[in-house]
A and B are shown apart, each in its own frame.
Chain A
Amino acid sequence: MTTTPAPAATREALGPALVRLQQNGADIVVVDADLGKSTSARTFRDAYPERFFTFGVAEQNMISAAGGLSTMGHVVVASTFAVFAEHAFDQLRMSVAQPKLNVKIVASHGGVSTGEDGASAQSVEDYALFSSLVNFTVCVPADVVEAEAMVAAAVATPGPWYIRTGRPKIPVIYTDGPRFQVGKADMLRDGTDVTIVACGLLVERSLRAAEALERSGISARVLNMGTIRPLDVEALTAAARDTGAIVVAEEHLTHSGLGAMCAQAIAASTQPVPMEFVGVQNRYGESATWDEVLEIMGLTAEGVEAAVRKVVARKR
């Protein structure tokens, strides 16, 4: 008999994963901007202090220095909060993306589920910003198990990566171990009437929505789109062909995130289908507990369910 693992925050994966990878022969250097306690990057400092550099509250300096460090052959992991990674956008563009350097941005406190801190700390645009950077691989883990697998994949794969992790403790989905493959959607549940494409903490919420829909006779496929870039166009095309309707659910602005990127792929495919978008609607966040903020934004199982009913109605 297996016991359900306790909920965990995806941000908790980083430090321990980096220590393990370093022990197993990786050549990792971590740079930090005065948030190492919250991102768990400090765990790596405790094990490998000579491989850890703090830059203080100075993200732009940290990112360009990370680019330089990586040219000496190290895998450089830069950690801060998602909003403060955005702080260094041009540095990301010129010191990392354009020269295609081996820098991994693992940014925690992504999305609106940062909660009480309010708008300034809630990243609603990071998928858009990082996906706009050519050469970047952009990933969002659905749980702590997948987060660890993503960090390992990033360290093993040359080139710039962005991994967004989250602050709150969320349920573990991959109780039997990770299934992450870069660039591949993971079908967590098959269905015939609609496909829900989700990432991050919306994956578990979408699974719950699919269960509720099942009870009222709607059969939903659920794809965990853990890689936002490069997008798994094949899985999307198959979803359109097999189910005829798509809902995209994400903790991000709808007009510029995973939904917009999926819509572009579907529009360019041979079989465009109706789509609906669950996400942050053209606004910034606000203070409340993390699950209250998600509720305010409609990022709930019920929100996904409503979008599914809408898109299924549009099929006829």
Chain B
Amino acid sequence: MVAGAGTDLRALTKRVRRHVVEMVYGAQSGHIGGSMSSTEILAVLYGRIMRHDPQRPDWPERDRFVMSKGHCTPVQYATLAENGYFPVEELSTFRKKGSRLQGHSVLGKPQGVENSAGALGMGLSFGLGIRLGMRLNNIDAHVYVLMGDGEQDEGQVWEAAMAAAHHNVDRLVAIIDRNGIQNDDFTRETMRTEPLDEKYRAFGWEVRAGIDGHDLDAVEAALAWARDVRGKPALVIFDTVKGKGVSFMENNPGFHGAAPNAEQFARAMEELA
């Protein structure tokens, strides 16, 4: 069962991007860039790929989505709300006093958030652990872990990659949002991590790379392929644009973690209309 199989994902991604900008503007803090580059990936996961039910967020057989780049809560919360996990109106409480919608992902806040994150590099290990537990319990559900390309700097990612292959873990799908930018700078200036595809292959993974992360059909085809890989863990590397959808945020390291001012907000919402 896939919730929302009939939804128009093109329209949904448009709404999600508007939510993202509104949330970060409203909080005057938060991460727009990496949220906009992952928008289609999350839309397709929740709309076409994952077996999940917003009415039963604690259903043991559900597929799990692990947000390893835990700063990208705007796109995570907006996607969950659009899929019926909680009211869309609650998005305006993001990062504010008393809100469930914390700056970085916190397990169970709200239900549907499957891990605590914000320290990069841990999600693939956490997802591996979930999948090992599922295997013990004879649950054939999938675990999807979303990582950043800057996050690949962390050694723990590679420890997890090695362990997943060693334990022949399948139904574990890693996803890299390769937007080319991390906190301070372009990824290639900060730490050369390429060729990521060959590295993961050498670690024992099935890999598809070079897929347009903003083409809904291409994203769906790649994730469906990864979902069906058996005997090995699978990785999809999506090429994306950080800040996608707002011209002055696109491919701009300045919009990794900065909030727009009033004038930028107005321009952004105009472009996203």
Contact = CB atoms under 8 A, between A and B. Distances in A.
Interface of A: 32, 34-38, 42, 54-58, 60-61, 83-84, 87, 115-121, 286-289, 292, 296
B248 to A, nearest CB: 19
Nearest to B73: A118
Nearest to B148: A57
B103 to A, nearest CB: 4
B217 interface: no
Nearest to B256: A37
A13 B102 CA distance: 29
Interface string B136-174: 000000000000001101110000000000000000000
A54 B185 CA distance: 11
B153 A58 contact: yes
A57 B121 contact: yes
B157 to A, nearest CB: 10
Nearest to B258: A37
A118 B103 contact: yes
A35 B199 CA distance: 26
Contacts of B183: 34-35, 37-38, 57
Contacts of A116: 27-30, 95, 103
Interface residues of B, number: 33
17 contacts: A35-B183, A56-B190, A57-B183, A58-B154, A84-B119, A116-B103, A117-B103, A117-B104, A118-B102, A118-B103, A119-B104, A119-B118, A120-B116, A121-B103, A286-B102, A288-B98, A296-B97
A54 B153 CA distance: 11
A82 to B, nearest CB: 12
Contacts of B117: 120
Contacts of B106: 118-120
Contact of B104 (A34, A87, A118): A118
Contact of B97 (A57, A87, A288): A288
Interface string B23-55: 000011110000000000000000000000000
B96 interface: yes
B153 A55 contact: yes
A38 B154 CA distance: 19
Nearest to A293: B97
Interface in B197-248: none
A83 to B, nearest CB: 7
B95 A57 contact: no
B151 A57 contact: yes
Given A37-B183, A37-B184, A87-B119, A56 B103 contact: no
